Structure 1
Amino acid sequence: MGSQKYIQKGEKEFVNGVTRAVMECDVSNNHYLLNASGVLTYIVSSRNPRVRLQVNSETKVLCVFSKGLIRDFHEKASGTDDLAKQWIKRAVRDVIAHGKDVPRIVYPALTGSKTPTD
Protein backbone atom coordinates (compact mmCIF):
# COMPACT_ATOMS: atom_id res chain seq x y z
CA MET A 1 0.00 0.00 0.00
CA GLY A 2 1.44 3.40 -0.97
CA SER A 3 1.93 6.16 1.51
CA GLN A 4 -0.50 9.02 1.17
CA LYS A 5 -0.28 12.40 2.80
CA TYR A 6 -3.46 14.07 3.97
CA ILE A 7 -3.91 17.56 2.55
CA GLN A 8 -6.40 19.88 4.22
CA LYS A 9 -9.18 21.38 2.13
CA GLY A 10 -7.84 24.93 2.59
CA GLU A 11 -4.39 23.94 1.36
CA LYS A 12 -5.81 22.12 -1.66
CA GLU A 13 -8.00 25.14 -2.51
CA PHE A 14 -4.97 27.44 -2.14
CA VAL A 15 -2.83 25.31 -4.50
CA ASN A 16 -5.62 25.14 -7.08
CA GLY A 17 -6.50 28.84 -6.80
CA VAL A 18 -2.92 30.02 -7.07
CA THR A 19 -2.25 27.60 -9.95
CA ARG A 20 -5.22 29.01 -11.85
CA ALA A 21 -4.09 32.59 -11.16
CA VAL A 22 -0.53 31.84 -12.32
CA MET A 23 -1.66 30.01 -15.46
CA GLU A 24 -3.89 32.96 -16.43
CA CYS A 25 -1.50 35.58 -15.00
CA ASP A 26 -4.50 36.90 -13.06
CA VAL A 27 -3.10 39.52 -10.69
CA SER A 28 -6.45 40.98 -9.65
CA ASN A 29 -6.30 39.34 -6.19
CA ASN A 30 -3.90 38.31 -3.48
CA HIS A 31 -4.09 34.70 -2.32
CA TYR A 32 -3.66 33.89 1.39
CA LEU A 33 -3.26 30.61 3.23
CA LEU A 34 -4.07 31.09 6.91
CA ASN A 35 -3.37 28.72 9.79
CA ALA A 36 -5.99 29.01 12.54
CA SER A 37 -4.85 26.64 15.28
CA GLY A 38 -3.91 23.98 12.75
CA VAL A 39 -6.87 24.47 10.40
CA LEU A 40 -5.76 25.86 7.03
CA THR A 41 -8.04 28.38 5.31
CA TYR A 42 -7.74 29.86 1.83
CA ILE A 43 -8.74 33.48 1.28
CA VAL A 44 -8.73 35.46 -1.96
CA SER A 45 -8.83 39.21 -1.55
CA SER A 46 -8.08 42.29 -3.58
CA ARG A 47 -7.84 44.24 -0.31
CA ASN A 48 -5.51 43.58 2.62
CA PRO A 49 -7.90 44.88 5.35
CA ARG A 50 -10.20 41.90 4.85
CA VAL A 51 -7.37 39.56 5.75
CA ARG A 52 -6.22 41.68 8.70
CA LEU A 53 -9.64 41.27 10.27
CA GLN A 54 -9.28 37.49 10.20
CA VAL A 55 -5.74 37.33 11.59
CA ASN A 56 -5.41 37.25 15.36
CA SER A 57 -3.26 35.54 17.97
CA GLU A 58 -4.71 32.17 17.00
CA THR A 59 -4.52 32.77 13.23
CA LYS A 60 -1.26 33.17 11.35
CA VAL A 61 -0.57 33.90 7.69
CA LEU A 62 1.23 30.86 6.29
CA CYS A 63 1.62 31.96 2.65
CA VAL A 64 0.79 34.95 0.48
CA PHE A 65 0.82 35.01 -3.31
CA SER A 66 0.59 38.60 -4.44
CA LYS A 67 0.82 40.18 -7.89
CA GLY A 68 4.60 40.07 -8.10
CA LEU A 69 4.89 36.41 -7.19
CA ILE A 70 2.06 35.43 -9.53
CA ARG A 71 3.77 37.24 -12.43
CA ASP A 72 7.14 35.69 -11.53
CA PHE A 73 5.74 32.15 -11.45
CA HIS A 74 3.83 32.79 -14.71
CA GLU A 75 7.04 33.83 -16.47
CA LYS A 76 9.01 30.91 -15.05
CA ALA A 77 6.32 28.36 -16.00
CA SER A 78 6.44 29.76 -19.57
CA GLY A 79 3.44 27.97 -20.93
CA THR A 80 -0.12 26.91 -20.39
CA ASP A 81 0.23 23.18 -20.99
CA ASP A 82 -0.01 20.33 -18.48
CA LEU A 83 3.74 20.41 -17.77
CA ALA A 84 3.57 24.08 -16.81
CA LYS A 85 0.56 23.39 -14.61
CA GLN A 86 2.34 20.56 -12.79
CA TRP A 87 5.46 22.72 -12.31
CA ILE A 88 3.32 25.50 -10.81
CA LYS A 89 1.53 23.12 -8.42
CA ARG A 90 4.84 21.64 -7.26
CA ALA A 91 6.34 25.12 -6.80
CA VAL A 92 3.31 26.33 -4.81
CA ARG A 93 3.54 23.24 -2.57
CA ASP A 94 7.24 24.04 -2.02
CA VAL A 95 6.32 27.59 -0.95
CA ILE A 96 3.75 26.17 1.48
CA ALA A 97 6.30 23.71 2.89
CA HIS A 98 8.73 26.57 3.42
CA GLY A 99 5.98 28.58 5.13
CA LYS A 100 5.34 25.65 7.47
CA ASP A 101 9.06 25.31 8.30
CA VAL A 102 9.71 28.98 9.13
CA PRO A 103 8.01 28.97 12.56
CA ARG A 104 9.87 25.79 13.56
CA ILE A 105 13.19 27.37 12.62
CA VAL A 106 12.63 30.96 13.80
CA TYR A 107 10.55 30.25 16.90
CA PRO A 108 11.68 26.84 18.19
CA ALA A 109 10.75 27.59 21.82
CA LEU A 110 7.17 28.40 20.87
CA THR A 111 6.68 25.42 18.59
CA GLY A 112 8.43 22.89 20.81
CA SER A 113 10.91 21.87 18.14
CA LYS A 114 14.65 21.95 18.29
CA THR A 115 16.77 24.42 16.39
CA PRO A 116 18.66 23.11 13.34
CA THR A 117 21.91 23.28 15.32
CA ASP A 118 20.62 21.10 18.20
Structure 2
Amino acid sequence: MKELVSKGEQNFIRGCTKAILTNDVDQYHWLFKVNGVKVYYVHKEPQAADHHRIFKSAICICSIGPEFITDWHYKAGHDDLSKAWINRGLKDLIEHSESFADFIYSPSSKHKNDKTIRTITTPGLTEAGRTEYFNKITRLLNPKK
Protein backbone atom coordinates (compact mmCIF):
# COMPACT_ATOMS: atom_id res chain seq x y z
CA MET A 1 0.00 0.00 0.00
CA LYS A 2 1.34 3.39 -0.98
CA GLU A 3 1.78 5.85 1.87
CA LEU A 4 0.11 9.24 1.55
CA VAL A 5 2.55 12.13 1.44
CA SER A 6 1.60 15.81 1.30
CA LYS A 7 2.39 17.88 -1.79
CA GLY A 8 4.85 20.04 0.18
CA GLU A 9 6.69 16.97 1.44
CA GLN A 10 6.77 15.46 -2.05
CA ASN A 11 8.20 18.68 -3.48
CA PHE A 12 10.77 18.88 -0.67
CA ILE A 13 11.94 15.31 -1.27
CA ARG A 14 11.99 15.83 -5.04
CA GLY A 15 13.87 19.15 -4.80
CA CYS A 16 16.42 17.89 -2.28
CA THR A 17 16.96 14.63 -4.16
CA LYS A 18 17.67 16.53 -7.37
CA ALA A 19 20.04 18.89 -5.53
CA ILE A 20 21.88 15.98 -3.89
CA LEU A 21 22.20 13.94 -7.09
CA THR A 22 23.58 16.94 -9.03
CA ASN A 23 25.47 18.38 -6.03
CA ASP A 24 23.64 21.70 -6.50
CA VAL A 25 24.75 23.68 -3.44
CA ASP A 26 23.47 27.05 -4.66
CA GLN A 27 20.18 26.89 -2.76
CA TYR A 28 18.80 26.18 0.71
CA HIS A 29 15.75 23.96 1.09
CA TRP A 30 13.15 24.21 3.87
CA LEU A 31 10.05 22.28 4.82
CA PHE A 32 7.60 24.29 6.92
CA LYS A 33 4.25 23.52 8.43
CA VAL A 34 1.98 26.54 7.95
CA ASN A 35 -1.44 26.15 9.60
CA GLY A 36 -1.09 22.37 9.41
CA VAL A 37 -0.08 22.35 5.72
CA LYS A 38 3.47 21.36 4.73
CA VAL A 39 5.11 23.94 2.47
CA TYR A 40 8.39 23.53 0.56
CA TYR A 41 10.49 26.68 0.24
CA VAL A 42 13.79 27.08 -1.61
CA HIS A 43 16.01 30.15 -1.87
CA LYS A 44 19.63 31.13 -2.52
CA GLU A 45 19.92 33.04 0.76
CA PRO A 46 20.20 31.08 4.04
CA GLN A 47 17.99 33.50 5.99
CA ALA A 48 15.44 34.21 3.27
CA ALA A 49 12.68 32.36 5.12
CA ASP A 50 13.28 34.53 8.21
CA HIS A 51 12.04 37.56 6.30
CA HIS A 52 9.10 35.94 4.51
CA ARG A 53 5.88 36.96 6.28
CA ILE A 54 4.06 33.67 5.69
CA PHE A 55 6.70 31.82 7.71
CA LYS A 56 6.55 34.11 10.77
CA SER A 57 3.94 31.82 12.36
CA ALA A 58 5.16 28.61 10.70
CA ILE A 59 6.88 25.60 12.19
CA CYS A 60 10.19 24.72 10.55
CA ILE A 61 10.30 20.97 10.09
CA CYS A 62 13.53 20.62 8.15
CA SER A 63 16.29 22.74 6.64
CA ILE A 64 18.87 21.48 4.12
CA GLY A 65 21.97 23.48 3.22
CA PRO A 66 25.08 23.13 1.04
CA GLU A 67 27.13 21.04 3.51
CA PHE A 68 24.33 18.49 3.85
CA ILE A 69 23.84 18.33 0.09
CA THR A 70 27.56 17.82 -0.60
CA ASP A 71 27.92 15.22 2.13
CA TRP A 72 24.94 13.18 0.95
CA HIS A 73 26.00 13.56 -2.69
CA TYR A 74 29.26 11.72 -2.00
CA LYS A 75 27.67 9.19 0.38
CA ALA A 76 24.91 8.30 -2.10
CA GLY A 77 27.38 7.34 -4.80
CA HIS A 78 26.53 7.25 -8.48
CA ASP A 79 24.64 4.06 -9.13
CA ASP A 80 21.07 2.87 -9.64
CA LEU A 81 20.41 2.78 -5.89
CA SER A 82 21.45 6.38 -5.17
CA LYS A 83 18.04 7.96 -5.73
CA ALA A 84 16.24 5.36 -3.60
CA TRP A 85 18.82 5.75 -0.81
CA ILE A 86 18.42 9.54 -0.83
CA ASN A 87 14.60 9.36 -0.87
CA ARG A 88 14.52 6.91 2.03
CA GLY A 89 17.02 9.01 3.98
CA LEU A 90 15.04 12.21 3.41
CA LYS A 91 11.80 10.54 4.50
CA ASP A 92 13.50 9.33 7.69
CA LEU A 93 14.96 12.80 8.25
CA ILE A 94 11.55 14.44 7.82
CA GLU A 95 9.91 11.96 10.19
CA HIS A 96 12.55 12.56 12.86
CA SER A 97 12.60 16.33 12.33
CA GLU A 98 8.82 16.60 12.41
CA SER A 99 8.56 14.74 15.71
CA PHE A 100 11.24 16.99 17.18
CA ALA A 101 9.56 20.14 15.79
CA ASP A 102 6.23 19.06 17.30
CA PHE A 103 7.99 18.58 20.63
CA ILE A 104 9.78 21.94 20.52
CA TYR A 105 6.82 23.96 19.25
CA SER A 106 4.23 22.34 21.52
CA PRO A 107 2.60 24.88 23.87
CA SER A 108 3.29 22.72 26.92
CA SER A 109 6.97 22.27 26.11
CA LYS A 110 9.28 23.87 28.64
CA HIS A 111 12.37 22.44 26.95
CA LYS A 112 13.05 25.26 24.52
CA ASN A 113 16.66 25.71 25.42
CA ASP A 114 20.02 25.21 23.82
CA LYS A 115 20.71 22.00 25.71
CA THR A 116 17.63 20.27 24.27
CA ILE A 117 18.34 21.50 20.75
CA ARG A 118 21.89 20.08 20.90
CA THR A 119 20.50 16.58 21.53
CA ILE A 120 19.24 16.35 17.93
CA THR A 121 21.09 13.70 15.97
CA THR A 122 22.56 15.02 12.75
CA PRO A 123 23.87 12.08 10.75
CA GLY A 124 25.97 13.07 7.80
CA LEU A 125 26.84 16.59 8.96
CA THR A 126 30.33 17.83 9.70
CA GLU A 127 30.89 19.72 12.96
CA ALA A 128 30.66 23.04 11.08
CA GLY A 129 27.47 21.90 9.35
CA ARG A 130 26.05 20.73 12.68
CA THR A 131 26.77 24.10 14.28
CA GLU A 132 25.17 25.96 11.36
CA TYR A 133 22.14 23.65 11.53
CA PHE A 134 21.69 24.27 15.27
CA ASN A 135 22.10 28.02 14.84
CA LYS A 136 19.33 28.01 12.20
CA ILE A 137 17.05 26.01 14.49
CA THR A 138 17.75 28.39 17.38
CA ARG A 139 17.01 31.44 15.17
CA LEU A 140 13.77 29.87 13.97
CA LEU A 141 12.68 28.93 17.49
CA ASN A 142 13.61 32.28 18.98
CA PRO A 143 12.82 34.89 16.34
CA LYS A 144 13.63 38.50 17.14
CA LYS A 145 10.40 40.39 17.71
Q: TM-score, normalised by structure 1?
A: 0.81
1:97 and 1:10, CA in 2 relative to 1: closer, same or farther beyond 3 A? same
2:55 corresponds to which residue? 55
1:39 and 1:19, CA in 2 relative to 1: closer, same or farther beyond 3 A? same
Q: TM-score, normalised by structure 2?
A: 0.67
Matches within 5 A, 1:1-118: 2=1, 4-52=2-50, 53=52, 54-57=54-57, 59-79=58-78, 81-106=79-104, 110=108
Code of the aligned partner of 2:12 = F
Code of the aligned partner of 2:39 = T
- Structure with the larger RCO, 1 or 2 (CA within 8 Å, 6+ apart): 1
Give the paired residue count: 107
Q: Cα offset for 1:103?
A: 3.2
For residues 31 and 17 of structure 1, the distance between their equivalents in structure 2, rounded to whole angstroms, comes to: 8
Tell whether the 8 Å contact from 2:8 to 2:31 is kept in structure 1 after alignment: yes
**Which 4+ residue blocks in structure 1 deviate beyond 4 angstroms?**
104-109
* Larger strand share, 1 or 2: 1
**Structure 1 vs Structure 2 CA RMSD:** 1.8
Code of the aligned partner of 1:55 = F
SS in 1 for 2:62: strand
Q: Cα offset for 1:37?
A: 1.9
**What percent identity do the matched residue pairs reach?**
31
